[in-house]
Structures are given as C-alpha cells and as structure tokens.
Amino acid sequence: MEEAVRKVLKEQVDPVLSQHFGGSELTRIRDGVAYVRLTGACASCPSAQETIQDIVKDFVMGGVPGIKDVVLDTTVSEDLLDMARKILNHELKD
C-alpha cells in the first residue's frame, strides 16, 4: 500500500505541487490513514491544510484502495533536525 501511495504522490500530486515549487512525501500509513508531509514552498504555505484536503486527498484516496483518509504531517523531518543539531554544535562550515 505504501508503494501505491508513493506512486500516486510522485505521478499525480507532485506535478501539481511543483507548479508552486513544492512536493510531497509519505511519512507513514497507520490504520488506513496516509500521513503526508508537504515539501519545498508548500511546506510553509498557509494553505497547506487546504492543499491536503483539496488535492492530495482526492488523488490518494481515488487511486489507492484501502486508504480511508489523508492527513497533513506537520512533524519536523529528521533531516531538518540533523541540520539544526549540526548548527548548534558548530559542525557546519560556511
């Protein structure tokens, strides 16, 4: 099921979001609910929740049987946390 959701995100959702310099990634599926993080410019967009409801949810639920809902994942990515740790530890060079 995860691969099917990733395929829909890559082939159907990301081309739409790329028009706004953004993208999407599946973070997990739990009990039929797909958690999707928006990336790029879409990650900080005030309309991110509407994007999930109006675009992502329709494509994913319409294309992947068994998905009951699609939810915006607002957790901080591990990549961003790693970068923050490196900055705080003075491990990044200019």
The alpha carbon of 53 is separated from its chain's Cα centroid by a whole number of angstroms, namely 13
Cα separation values, 56 from 19, 59, 84, Å: 14, 5, 29
Q: Which amino acid is at 79?
A: D
Is it the case that residue 59 has pLDDT exceeding 70? yes
Per-residue pLDDT, 94? 59
11-57 residue pLDDT tens? 999 999 999 999 999 999 999 999 999 988 888 888 988 999 989 99
Model confidence, pTM: 0.79
- Pick from 36, 21, 31: nearest CA to 75: 36
Question: By three-state DSSP, how is residue 46 classified?
Answer: coil
Second-level CATH architecture of 2-88: 2-Layer Sandwich (3.30)
For the chain, give the percent of residues with pLDDT over 70.
98
80-94 residue pLDDT tens? 778 788 888 888 765
